[in-house]
Structure 1
């Protein structure tokens, strides 16, 4: 060879970019370049890693004539990196701590194979100074920096001190050795919230927590310690000021053993989820050359300060508001995103690493470093985007990356048929593209993403496409909160009806193509001449069974779960015509589409002609969970459909073994399932233990990320099926929750076995309804007379606790529901019961559509049911499910387009209310970044100042919050408080109280909030408090409030049982007095004395009764708050965590 690769790099400026094709994935030269012989020449290297980085290192090593050794765990026995190596050695079972993190096992493998050097890749042992020192002591070359530099930079606290001494800018923070939680909390207070908690060792976002206030510090601190210990073996923590709108920009540095250090420009890694990068680019957009030079110089200074050599990355956080940058950390290894730097400088950084490890000097100087255009890297993960990017596992049933070229790289460690394991990082591949400028590279990125095909596991490809197509990303306006700030665009197309309609039409077109292709495949599959040449999935029984029939119906469910928007069922008629084409139609009245299908090579590829267009189509299918999943790719479109199979086949057609899919997928009511496949790290409760909603029950770990499974509702734990150290699959049952007040055979009075009084006032102030226990009283406010209710089907109003009452917006209807599983619809004019709906479970919330056409109610398992009014329907139809979370409130939006629900999982969910609600609905958005305790109540607000409707919510976290429904944005927060001693309690630390109820006047700016014995009046569009009223009297604690045009109505009271002692009192407060709002005593209410008599029924107001009733109110309020019990459990959990930490240490 006339010129070595090393010399070629020296002349890269004089060579065309096409000469660097050898560095692209899969395009290595068939020949092998050689390293100049010297005393330190490496002939065999062991790669102490797995997956794509192991394959990447081996590719360069082989090109340089170096033999390669792979190491593998039992889970990776047949993996691509093992197949790519010259030799491979098993080092242990699947858990990383027993294999890839076992330095002893790796050193033994090196000794057995005669490897002279070890390349650690990234992750695992790459930043272990002990391992680097072990290599050096054993006479092996560690292809990386010196152990001393790893040690100094690996301890983030020490690195901050070193960088400060070197004059590198630092973020204000605490990097000391004292780790006591009280001391750390004190330091956090000095820094000022918000702060960010980071482990002092490791990276990848693991263990990082953003803390907004002191209230959340303890839980975040302990969680960060646990995750850091699990991931890095060290649980020490540092604190830093959290910059609210930062950019994450890092600089690639390189040094040799001769004292030379340079930088290879910067990378922008700001677009992140879960503190982990998903799109990186180089160079960073929208920075000046002066700023770029300052970053590079600071990075070189940082490397020199620790005597650094080999590859490293200096990470900076850039404050976008001040354009100041601060040192964040130094990664003493090759980064995941190193290929984007390789693309813009035309260098092979792994080759640089090997040559520097051999003792050679850097090939070029700083002035000779080229800048060749722009590059992007997109990380393709197996993960469930709508579930908060939880990692996913499964088989890659179909895997077809894009073709590589001089400007397109695919770094991957998997092949079709491989399994994405729960033991390691879920990254499938890195897609790297380059162009002459940023715009050109971005076009290429979007095109490659649309043609990157993966089926079998959920991926983030669709999400990456949305990111790359976002208008702000297109112009380089990025920062680390980019995803959160643009979540409406990235997650919820259905908030834009036009976009939702467009997506649905595109899916229907794809469904027609699927129906035609499936029919064509099955014709071939049942033809003996083709049998055996097609995947066995097409050799199955119905529903996709044609035989020789001319017609069939194919039902496809558009599986739009990757967008988090649910599913849509499509029924398509297929007619096989004599000319071999297929006629596809949806319904008898819809126009038909003629489709002609021909095979185009492999089993998955077709050429399809339809509507005058000819296109290439790829179809992939697999069986899973009782469904046949079918993916289609054509042009830039990718859609997934599924069809209920109902029978799972094993064996041949004769004597087939089958079982209903429902037998394997159903769980008893109240069952909590694993949100992902993973390892059970801790079980925090015992079977039959009492838990509160939101209380941690199980700690899981997957892909080194910790996830806490919490109780979705209060109750007792039953059927606890797992223990620490056990592996669980996604969706497997963990435990079951039984609510205490619905347990069979339960006759004792318990904390939750009370019903607070409820009140609702007619929109036009015609009447007011009050209930306590199972009794309802209605009072006519026009003529000051009680109202007689007429229910021809039942003797009593309700037979058990009433949990919800409300008038419709029109004032024509009234609805009531409760523990007797009945939903009663009343005429608010004649007060005759118009209909009674029977629910299978206890009902917790109810709402009436604004046109009085539908009633929705929620049962105790979080299922929302819908009933069409005007008929004699006796049972609801399920609308959607919230997965066992108890719904505390339901509301229709004023325009009727959405129904919102408040849950005990701290979330507010938005659901499109469909034109045909009896066909089901789909959730489009969850507001989960606001409240930190369960949401108790929600109400829509609007005023002349607001151009659209907004939502107000109250919670157990002492706050009222205002939301923009369309975007899910949190607009404002009002932290309400109350006087000390609002409940009988011995807790001195009690600081949080629950918003009991809130209400607002439609088309007004007035809202009211009840919290213990205080009522706050708010401006609903700003949440500014206009006045606060203290309710006198120990016995009157408002349990429900309702606003009319000028009066706030309050009810106070409770019942200990449907037919037990109970009482209710009401009060009214003027909302319009200019200075002070007067508190009207009960007898001052028009007709108040008569109303009280009716409400009290046969109970006379004697002192003993008042005392008992007051205690019932307190008990009712305690059941709503669950404050004391919750605090005790929380403290006990923290105590156990501290004990676990001490035991570990």
Structure 2
């Protein structure tokens, strides 16, 4: 800590204006450097992991982010009350808000990041395009005339050539972005993108770019000294995405010609130097698959979610670098000392259910344990709640190896040893992604998920059956060896293994299985007979049992089949009942009692984990009852609306 005490801008106490995984990540570096870490939290996060890890914590308001984590006034009040010297924004929330930077500087505090001018310049994608062009950095062909009306944009789209991409000038994360394949769809896309951009960022400005279909998404980690000097920490490939949000990231980028790599470094450094950038940033590029000409996409003026893969191959702590730069201390390395070693791959572990269209999931985590050999950056632990108020990402799994093959092998083995229960996650999907030929060969593009799972992802049937068999075996045998049991599930002796007919009900449905005990237990669903691993860990959680295999986690109830058929207790929804598909906020009710609706009409809109979900009518009907009001937070399966079919 002595360096920070005697620095040109001394830092002793750092307030982290964030939550979750990134707040925990920053706290770890502060503690290693001997700095006091101060957490802020909403009412919903009063007992969150980042609060428990911090040296001190300050409450800043109710659960909605707009009233807590997005409130500049409340963050600054917390900084004053806690005696903080510096504020680290993390990523998301206020991390790319120039008003936040200016307010911190006006309060006489240190902002751990670039100045307001740089944040503002790069926060507008239109302004960033102009700066990049001036710096000689190639940009995607497009039209960025501010204030252009629909007629002007329509002519510009014809000049660019379809397909085009409508993009919000502010913000990121895919919000305010629409693909337009045909001229007749442009007007609706413009209206939709503007509305979403205005809601998400307070700025409805949009522009057009040529849609580079199925490209690679490659970015360069940069670090500026604020005086025109800049370093790079090599590149990352972030091509595996869903709805323009990254899912898998790796460094360095596979199958990238060295000439392209050097061009990326040159372009990124030129842009960083042009704006006299200070601190960590990321310059993002897109490049058509098989092409050698990258185009500038945008610059993120903050730490990226995927920064761990860069840290792993370069052997640095980027948060430490940020804090040193903010304190006015010299940077630890020169460009020729930043040498990549090996390969690293990161997965974003989200609380969501890929098999149901990636609906976010909420609840209490009943078990969370990472597999061996992984760096596990997490914002939650066993016993923590996953709230509907914030982003669905709960952790990151990162593997490093001597080369890409070694990193991939370590990551797969680490996933196989990871356990998550209590909420649904995307880990099974991610495990399946890693073994596809396209990813294994380093040929993934932004269309990877759609191409790999054109009908949507479903769990591997054999893996699911094996998990159900293991759960059923554990549920009916408890801790005893089934060969020594004397109840009805054992028939005969060890030479005549017992057989049980069971019903297993889990998030993937209800299944009727036959379980055979013995030294090599087997499970059958009538069409397949598979061996199950007696050593697979199964644990009890209330009246359910949970097990994980190859990243797929299943939590199930088990009953004798005869009992299940007599008294079928499977959860069915009455026809015409519209229930909440997830825990979240009802933002709109678009119908009134007595209204007639047709199939597909939107009845209500819900929001959870920053995602919007429209609830359609399943058939033509009359609205018989509305059970909730807009602005109400409801639990999953809460009845919202009741419909009744009208007689002919």
- On whether the aligned pair clears a TM of 0.5, the verdict is yes
Asked if the contact 2:224–2:278 (Cα under 8 Å) also holds between the matched residues in 1, the reply is: yes
Asked if the contact 2:41–2:60 (Cα under 8 Å) also holds between the matched residues in 1, the reply is: yes
The answer as to 2:278 corresponding to 1:309 is yes
Distance 1:118 1:128, change over 3 A: same
TM-aligned CA deviation for residue 522 of structure 1: 6.2
Q: Which runs of 5+ in 2 are unaligned?
A: 491-499, 561-566
Asked if the contact 1:196–1:210 (Cα under 8 Å) also holds between the matched residues in 2, the reply is: yes
Matches within 5 A, 1:1067-1082: none
Q: Distance in 1 between matches of 2:95 and 2:361?
A: 25
The answer as to 2:554 corresponding to 1:640 is yes
Partner of residue 735, structure 1? 641
TM-score using structure 1 length: 0.52
TM-aligned CA deviation for residue 472 of structure 1: 1.5
TM-aligned CA deviation for residue 176 of structure 1: 2.7
Partner of residue 680, structure 1? 586
Partner of residue 622, structure 1? 541
TM-score using structure 2 length: 0.90
TM-aligned CA deviation for residue 66 of structure 1: 0.4
Partner of residue 504, structure 2? 557
TM-aligned CA deviation for residue 429 of structure 1: 0.8
Q: Distance in 2 between matches of 1:735 and 1:490?
A: 28
Partner of residue 416, structure 1? 382
Distance 1:662 1:99, change over 3 A: farther
TM-aligned CA deviation for residue 465 of structure 1: 0.7
Choose from 462, 478, 482 the match for 2:448. Answer: 482
The answer as to 2:456 corresponding to 1:518 is no
Partner of residue 121, structure 1? 90
Matches within 5 A, 1:960-971: none
- DSSP 3-state at the match of 2:271: helix
Asked if the contact 1:230–1:704 (Cα under 8 Å) also holds between the matched residues in 2, the reply is: no
TM-aligned CA deviation for residue 680 of structure 1: 2.2
Distance 1:592 1:558, change over 3 A: same
Q: From the two aligned structures, give the one with the greater helix fraction.
A: 2
Distance 1:154 1:511, change over 3 A: closer
Asked if the contact 1:179–1:236 (Cα under 8 Å) also holds between the matched residues in 2, the reply is: no
1:474-507, CA deviations, whole angstroms, 9 ceiling, x for partnerless residues? 11011100111121598358xxxxxx7xx43x55
Matches within 5 A, 1:665-704: 667-704=573-610
Partner of residue 104, structure 1? 73
Asked if the contact 2:470–2:538 (Cα under 8 Å) also holds between the matched residues in 1, the reply is: no
Asked if the contact 1:382–1:458 (Cα under 8 Å) also holds between the matched residues in 2, the reply is: yes
Matches within 5 A, 1:398-413: 398-403=367-372, 408-413=374-379
The answer as to 2:68 corresponding to 1:84 is no
1:124-164, CA deviations, whole angstroms, 9 ceiling, x for partnerless residues? 00000000000000000000011000000001111111111
Q: Distance in 2 between matches of 1:195 and 1:737?
A: 40
- DSSP 3-state at the match of 2:626: coil
Choose from 407, 415, 418 the match for 1:441. Answer: 407
TM-aligned CA deviation for residue 185 of structure 1: 4.3
Q: Distance in 2 between matches of 1:513 and 1:185?
A: 59
- DSSP 3-state at the match of 2:262: helix
Partner of residue 209, structure 1? 178
- DSSP 3-state at the match of 1:685: coil
Asked if the contact 1:467–1:490 (Cα under 8 Å) also holds between the matched residues in 2, the reply is: no
Partner of residue 245, structure 1? 214
TM-aligned CA deviation for residue 336 of structure 1: 0.2
Asked if the contact 1:257–1:359 (Cα under 8 Å) also holds between the matched residues in 2, the reply is: no
TM-aligned CA deviation for residue 697 of structure 1: 3.0
Asked if the contact 2:349–2:427 (Cα under 8 Å) also holds between the matched residues in 1, the reply is: yes
Q: Distance in 1 between matches of 2:456 and 2:443?
A: 15
Choose from 243, 250, 272 the match for 1:281. Answer: 250
Matches within 5 A, 1:574-589: none
Distance 1:152 1:61, change over 3 A: same
Asked if the contact 1:317–1:325 (Cα under 8 Å) also holds between the matched residues in 2, the reply is: yes
Partner of residue 570, structure 1? 513
Partner of residue 564, structure 2? none
TM-aligned CA deviation for residue 199 of structure 1: 1.9
Partner of residue 49, structure 1? 18
CA-atom RMSD in angstroms: 3.1
1:1095-1128, CA deviations, whole angstroms, 9 ceiling, x for partnerless residues? xxxxxxxxxxxxxxxxxxxxxxxxxxxxxxxxxx
- DSSP 3-state at the match of 1:443: helix
Q: Distance in 2 between matches of 1:638 and 1:233?
A: 39
Q: Distance in 1 between matches of 2:48 and 2:547?
A: 27
TM-aligned CA deviation for residue 446 of structure 1: 1.0
TM-aligned CA deviation for residue 188 of structure 1: 3.5
The answer as to 2:314 corresponding to 1:345 is yes
Distance 1:215 1:705, change over 3 A: farther
Partner of residue 714, structure 1? 620
1:1074-1103, CA deviations, whole angstroms, 9 ceiling, x for partnerless residues? xxxxxxxxxxxxxxxxxxxxxxxxxxxxxx
**Higher gyration radius (CA):** 1
Partner of residue 546, structure 2? 631
Q: Distance in 1 between matches of 2:321 and 2:464?
A: 48
Asked if the contact 1:680–1:698 (Cα under 8 Å) also holds between the matched residues in 2, the reply is: yes
Quick one: higher RCO (CA 8 Å, sep 6+), 1 or 2? 2
1:329-375, CA deviations, whole angstroms, 9 ceiling, x for partnerless residues? 10000000000000111110000000000112322222221111111
TM-aligned CA deviation for residue 73 of structure 1: 0.6
Q: Distance in 1 between matches of 2:161 and 2:629?
A: 40
1:793-827, CA deviations, whole angstroms, 9 ceiling, x for partnerless residues? xxxxxxxxxxxxxxxxxxxxxxxxxxxxxxxxxxx
Partner of residue 108, structure 2? 139
- DSSP 3-state at the match of 2:57: strand
The answer as to 2:243 corresponding to 1:329 is no
Q: Distance in 1 between matches of 2:306 and 2:479?
A: 44
Asked if the contact 1:48–1:106 (Cα under 8 Å) also holds between the matched residues in 2, the reply is: yes
Q: Distance in 1 between matches of 2:141 and 2:264?
A: 19
Q: Distance in 1 between matches of 2:205 and 2:326?
A: 32
Asked if the contact 2:506–2:557 (Cα under 8 Å) also holds between the matched residues in 1, the reply is: no
Matches within 5 A, 1:1012-1031: none
